[in-house]
Amino acid sequence: MIRWGTLGGAWSQAYAVNNKNQVTGVAYTRNGSAQCLPCYQWRAQRSGTISDPTSTTWGFGLNDAGIVVGQSTFQSTYHAFVYSGGVMKDLNKLTPARSGWVLLTANGINNAGQIVGEGLA
């Protein structure tokens, strides 16, 4: 067992581990905000397409390439995201324009890059 730590808050929780022993999940900050690990690096840099000082992120899935998927609250709504190469992208912006889907949560990603999650049509 390995102690994971927090981002200064009271607790953290791991949701996924890959074959390279990389982990993703959530950790709380001192001010009570929930941040995806390792996505907290994105949060500090404010890069990517989801950027709101009040957003929270949870990493739910992780493949062997270190690509993380999860859920972010942004402007009081849920958004499924993918985090790769230091950039977080809203999966809703990557779906076909008239698909009718609103992607809420990405729960897992395999090594082929296929993502499973929840959405509304």
Amino acid residing at 91: L
Kindly give the confidence (pLDDT) of every residue in the chain, 121 residues in length, as a single tens digit, with 9 standing for 90 and above: 666 677 777 778 888 989 988 888 888 777 777 777 666 444 444 434 455 556 788 899 999 999 999 998 877 788 899 999 888 888 998 998 889 999 999 999 999 999 999 999 8
What pLDDT, on a 0 to 100 scale, did the predictor assign at position 53?
58
pTM of the model: 0.82
